């Protein structure tokens, strides 16, 4: 029953998603402003048209490298949509002769030649979609190299004004005008030469007036060119003329304008014409009907979003450091995304680099190519590192707070594609993309005053192989948006507040604040409200499904928007990008259906456990085992001291790790006798603890049977040599304390000397000969080990210790030392054994400071005190 409900729900969502996609295509075709024009000529035909204009205006042919861009007067179109609404705007463009001929959409053809490294010859031609001239310009380098003239333009201006006009006179006139056009004034001789040129021109014209070129001549020359452009359809008002000299070229700059009372649009045209009849430039400015308005609020929100992004980046690095330190990072998925990003990000930058620099036409220098590729490689490496950090943190946080959201992703990255969860994730992603696209259409149709901004270009104007580049860019956009918002911020906040609903709310806030779409709806408030809805929808789907659905769904949605100009504009160069995207969606759909039908069910699939979680589990088990071992080892130490009459004894063992190799013991041998031992097994940790346990067992077994300390240590040495690994040894002091005689008989097996502090303050270091347990065999051990006796008097203090006390290092790498221990005990000898022990431990720890304890610390204090234990 539950599965049937889930299947019904998924089918219902799929139907709504498909309906959203259909609604998106319908609403966009109705509401998109760029449907007003059809691009009847492909780019190569536009280049041919630009070349023909260049040559028909009497410039010499040049081996140009062309670059074609699609240009839109977005602010003008947006102002008209704001003034009239989308439907009325489109109607007026068709019905109004002024708007119908206005080049709101046009091609900009830039052609350049860089054969000479010092100069670049450049020409620019603007054309309407049907090939009419909109603008034109050539740079001074081209003019200087060609000394252009236009015979037909000169004839148009002077034929009806000069008597007996002939081809020979025309040639002479053009020669004089060209000389004047490129003549540079300066010295007195050059001024005289200029005067002769002007006189010659006056003579050719047959006039005596000072001006060889009247204002009427200049206006007639501009009329010659305007009649060959789209501006011929307008009643242009002649404004003014300015005679100019720039870059060694003389020309007249003329100004025109025209105002449309219906749309309140004003067009200002500037044309530069040269004396020899050629045109230097034709430019225009279209002033929109309505101003853009105050963008202060939008600017504030953009500043806030930039601040949040910077804060998030700093926080992300901090979290990455902490989780790396805690070894809570799974590098495998992070490395996969880092490698993919390391190829994709440089990939679309390379495509942009090729397009911008004209690499495919061989017009870029080798140094420029190498520098560009080096910069791309560096940026690619930086992006790979950034994606590694982002993915590693997102994986760690999600596995901590909501690991179910990575189930399908784990299957995909392990190569387990053919399964039902992946298939359902793909189909649900298509539904999500449709939901988001449909919501765009609803905003456009239902909210009055909303319209699509026209201030965006084509994908093909930015990239070589734009179809591939678009998929790369949208894939990176998806990862940059989805991973931080949902896997990092969303899961982190959800883990803190323990509420799932916080994720849609949070994503709605962030989507409304940060602009990420490849298009925008105006006004800005509606655009932000629409992005808030996107955040809510994505948040809901994230709660219901997992991250794979969000990634694929958002990818489909962004591509629907970014490729929209491929089908909204008839004849668009972006059509191939749209077709490739459709092919990708159809392929994903087919794979999704196939995976659902033929794939394995989730319960039959293996679970993925990150390596760091396995390692953490092992470490946790080891810590628990070590903790148990520590407790067990502590039970091996004396739980209570056998009090002897007139003798005050205290002892302590502080391991450097969970377990240690230091050992002390007090074994009762009757009312008046106690065996006392202190030892240090070579090494630290569990192995040393095992040998310490072995030693304790031997001592307790033999202490009641062997009363001679030397003989007991000899037997311990024999057993230890037979069972311990080569190179392991124990240093030890073992002795028998007789309370009635106040006598301590002991042997020292290579251990630290024993400190005796007399009641009067005198000190003595006792170190009879002895060799460590396990160092040599029985005969040599007995030869090298000496038994000694110490007679205690009232108030005498005996200190037995391991080298963890005297060899304690502080942060300055200085040892605590025997001298410091001796001075300290002399000063506190009057205190009880327990108090002396406490004072010594505190002093050692104070000396150590922030330094780490490297060795176990063990102390046994024996004091002759007639007032105790009576």
Instruction: Spell out the residues 6+ positions from residue 826 whose beta carbon is closer than 8 angstroms to its own.
Output: 757, 761, 763
Asked if 503 and 485 count as a contact pair (C-beta separation under 8 A), the reply is no
Mapped to the 3 state alphabet, what secondary structure does 224-247 carry?
HHHCCCHHHHCCCEEEEEEEEEEC
Handedness of CA 284, 290, 291, 295 (dihedral sign): negative
Asked if 486 and 397 count as a contact pair (C-beta separation under 8 A), the reply is no
DSSP string of 703-757, one letter each residue: TTT---HHHHHHHHHHHHHHHSPTT--EEEEEEEEETTTTEEEEEEEBPPPEEEE
Question: In the prediction, which pLDDT does 359 show?
Answer: 47
For tokens 């179910």, what's the residue? Answer: 404
For tokens 């940060």, what's the residue? Answer: 514
CA angle at 58 for the pair 52 and 63, rounded to the nearest 5°: 60
Beta bridge mates, 648:
863
CA angle at 563 for the pair 557 and 566, rounded to the nearest 5°: 150
Token output for 810 = 């502080």
CA distance 400 to 398: 5
Closest among 252, 219, 253 to 238, alpha carbons compared: 219
**Segment holding 269, helix H or strand E:** strand 266-273
Token output for 562 = 């970014």
Instruction: Spell out the residues 6+ positions from residue 421 whose beta carbon is closer than 8 angstroms to its own.
Output: 407, 408, 411, 599, 602, 605
CA distance 585 to 592: 10
Asked if 518 and 455 count as a contact pair (C-beta separation under 8 A), the reply is no
CA distance 96 to 263: 9
Residue 138 has phi, psi (to 5 degrees) of -130, 150
CA angle at 151 for the pair 145 and 156, rounded to the nearest 5°: 135
Question: In the prediction, which pLDDT does 584 show?
Answer: 94
Question: In the prediction, which pLDDT does 188 show?
Answer: 42
* CA 617 vs CA 54, 611, 614: distances in Å: 76, 10, 5
Closest among 94, 145, 99, 100 to 119, alpha carbons compared: 145
Largest CA distance in the chain: 154
CA 301 and chain centroid, separation: 22
Strands (E), 114-186: 121-127, 133-138
Question: In the prediction, which pLDDT does 604 show?
Answer: 64
CATH number of 638-864: 3.60.40.10
Question: In the prediction, which pLDDT does 721 show?
Answer: 87
Question: In the prediction, which pLDDT does 635 show?
Answer: 61
Beta bridge mates, 750:
732
Token output for 330 = 């799974």
Asked if 754 and 678 count as a contact pair (C-beta separation under 8 A), the reply is no
CA distance 629 to 690: 10
Closest among 406, 263, 232, 246 to 332, alpha carbons compared: 406
Question: In the prediction, which pLDDT does 187 show?
Answer: 41
249-259, strands of its sheet edge to edge: 65-72, 105-113, 121-127, 133-138, 279-287, 266-273, 249-259, 237-246
Instruction: Spell out the residues 6+ positions from residue 785 whose beta carbon is closer than 8 angstroms to its own.
Output: 710, 713, 714, 747, 748, 749, 769, 770, 771
The pTM (predicted TM-score) of the whole model is 0.74
Collapse the DSSP code of 288 into the 3-class scheme (helix H, G, I; strand E, B; otherwise coil) and give the result. coil
Token output for 648 = 């005050």
* CA 835 vs CA 190, 647, 678, 841: distances in Å: 112, 15, 19, 10
CA distance 24 to 16: 12
CA distance 781 to 245: 112
Asked if 495 and 363 count as a contact pair (C-beta separation under 8 A), the reply is no
Q: What is the DSSP letter of 59?
A: P
Asked if 602 and 591 count as a contact pair (C-beta separation under 8 A), the reply is no
CA distance 487 to 395: 7
Mapped to the 3 state alphabet, what secondary structure does 630-645 carry?
HHHHHHHCCCCCCCCC
Q: What is the mean pLDDT of each run of 10 residues along the chain (870 residues)?
A: 67 87 91 86 89 92 85 90 90 90 91 70 91 93 89 86 76 82 57 58 54 75 94 92 87 93 92 93 88 69 87 91 83 81 82 69 62 80 88 89 88 84 90 92 87 82 87 91 93 90 93 84 88 93 92 94 89 90 93 87 68 67 63 66 86 78 86 91 75 86 90 91 84 92 93 93 92 86 90 93 90 89 92 93 90 86 85
Cβ atoms < 10 Å from Cβ of 858: 25
Q: What is the DSSP letter of 578?
A: H
Instruction: Estimate the share of the chain in helix, then strand, then coil, as percent rounded to the nearest 5.
Output: 55, 15, 30
For tokens 């347990």, what's the residue? Answer: 773
CA distance 247 to 656: 84
Q: Is 83 exposed, middle or buried (0-12, 13-18, 19+ CB in 10 A)?
A: middle
Domain ranges of the chain: 2-31+294-604, 43-287, 638-864
CA distance 381 to 339: 10
DSSP string of 825-851, one letter each residue: HHHHTTS-HHHHHHHHHHHHHHHHTTS
């Amino acid at each position: 029953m539950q599965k049937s409900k889930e299947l019904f729900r998924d089918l219902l969502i799929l139907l709504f998603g498909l309906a959203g996609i259909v609604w998106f295509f319908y609403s966009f075709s109705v509401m998109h402003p760029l449907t007003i024009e059809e691009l009847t000529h492909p780019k190569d035909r536009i280049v041919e048209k630009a070349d023909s204009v260049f040559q028909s205006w009497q410039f010499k042919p040049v081996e140009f490298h062309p670059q074609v861009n699609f240009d839109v007067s977005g602010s003008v179109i947006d102002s008209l949509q704001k003034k009239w609404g989308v439907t009325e705007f489109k109607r007026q463009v068709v019905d109004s002769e002024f708007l119908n001929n206005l080049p709101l959409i046009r091609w900009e053809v830039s052609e350049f030649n860089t054969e000479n490294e010092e100069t670049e010859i450049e020409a620019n031609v603007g054309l309407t979609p049907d090939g009419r001239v909109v603008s034109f310009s050539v740079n001074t380098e081209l003019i200087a190299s060609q000394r252009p003239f236009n015979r037909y333009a000169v004839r148009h201006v002077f034929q009806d004004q000069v008597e007996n006009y002939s081809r020979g006179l025309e040639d002479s006139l053009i020669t004089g005008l060209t000389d004047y056009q490129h003549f540079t004034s300066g010295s007195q001789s050059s001024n005289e030469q200029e005067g002769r040129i002007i006189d010659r021109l006056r003579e050719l014209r047959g006039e005596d007036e000072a001006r060889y070129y009247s204002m009427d001549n200049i206006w007639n020359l501009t009329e010659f060119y305007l009649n060959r452009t789209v501006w011929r359809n307008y009643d242009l008002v002649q404004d003014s003329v300015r005679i100019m000299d720039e870059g060694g070229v003389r020309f007249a700059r003329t100004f025109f304008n025209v105002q449309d009372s219906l749309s309140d649009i004003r067009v200002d045209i500037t044309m530069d014409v040269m004396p020899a009849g050629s045109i230097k430039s034709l430019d225009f400015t279209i002033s929109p009907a309505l101003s853009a308005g105050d963008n202060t609020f939008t600017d504030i929100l953009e500043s806030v979003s930039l601040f949040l992004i910077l804060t998030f980046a700093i926080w992300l690095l901090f979290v990455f450091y902490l989780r790396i330190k805690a070894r809570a990072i799974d590098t495998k998925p992070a490395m996969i995304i880092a490698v993919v990003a390391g190829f994709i990000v440089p990939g679309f930058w390379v495509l942009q680099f090729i397009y911008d620099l004209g690499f495919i036409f061989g017009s870029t220098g080798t140094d420029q190519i190498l520098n560009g590729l080096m910069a791309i490689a560096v940026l690619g490496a930086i992006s790979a590192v950034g994606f590694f950090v982002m993915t590693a943190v997102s994986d760690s946080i999600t596995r901590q707070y909501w690991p179910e959201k990575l189930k399908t992703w784990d299957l995909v990255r392990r190569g387990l594609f053919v399964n039902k969860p992946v298939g359902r994730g793909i189909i649900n992603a298509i539904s999500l993309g449709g939901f988001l696209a449909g919501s765009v259409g609803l905003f456009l149709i239902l909210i009055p005053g909303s319209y699509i901004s026209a201030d965006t270009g084509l994908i093909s104007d930015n990239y070589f192989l734009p179809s591939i580049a678009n998929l790369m860019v949208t894939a990176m956009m998806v990862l940059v948006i989805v991973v931080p918002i949902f896997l990092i911020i969303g899961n982190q906040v959800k883990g803190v507040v323990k509420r799932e609903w916080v994720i849609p709310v949070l994503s709605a806030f962030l989507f409304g604040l940060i602009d990420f779409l490849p298009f925008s709806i105006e006004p800005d408030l509606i655009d932000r409200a629409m992005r808030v809805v996107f955040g809510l929808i994505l948040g809901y789907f994230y709660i219901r499904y997992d991250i794979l659905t969000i990634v694929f769904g958002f990818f489909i949605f962004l591509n629907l928007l970014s490729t929209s100009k491929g089908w909204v504009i008839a004849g668009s160069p972006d059509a191939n990008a749209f077709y490739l995207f459709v092919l990708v969606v159809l392929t994903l759909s087919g794979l999704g259906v196939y995976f659902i039908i033929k794939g394995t069910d989730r319960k039959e699939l293996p679970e993925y456990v990150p390596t760091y979680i396995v390692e953490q589990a092992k470490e946790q088990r080891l810590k628990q085992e070590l903790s148990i071992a520590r407790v067990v080892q502590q039970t091996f130490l004396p739980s209570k001291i056998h009090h002897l009459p007139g003798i005050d004894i205290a002892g302590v063992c502080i391991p450097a790790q969970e377990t240690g190799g230091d050992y002390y013991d007090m074994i009762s041998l009757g009312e008046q006798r106690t065996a006392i031992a202190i030892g240090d097994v070579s090494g630290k940790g569990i192995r040393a603890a095992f040998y310490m346990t072995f030693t304790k067992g031997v001592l307790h077994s033999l202490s009641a049977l062997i009363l001679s300390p030397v003989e007991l240590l000899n037997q311990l040495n024999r057993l230890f040599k037979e069972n311990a690994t080569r190179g392991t040894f124990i240093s030890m002091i073992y002795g028998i304390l007789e309370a009635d005689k106040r006598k301590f008989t002991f042997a020292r097996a290579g251990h630290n000397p024993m400190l005796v502090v007399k009641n009067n303050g005198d000190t003595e270091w006792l170190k009879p000969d002895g060799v460590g347990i396990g160092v040599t065999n029985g005969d040599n051990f007995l030869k090298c080990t000496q038994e000694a006796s110490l007679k205690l008097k009232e108030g005498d203090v005996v200190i037995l210790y391991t080298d963890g006390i005297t060899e304690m290092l502080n942060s300055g790498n200085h040892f605590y030392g025997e001298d410091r221990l001796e001075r300290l005990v002399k000063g506190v000898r009057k205190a009880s054994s327990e108090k002396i022990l406490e004072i010594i431990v505190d002093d050692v720890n104070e000396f150590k400071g922030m330094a780490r304890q490297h060795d176990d610390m063990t102390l046994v204090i024996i004091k002759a005190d007639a007032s105790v234990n009576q």
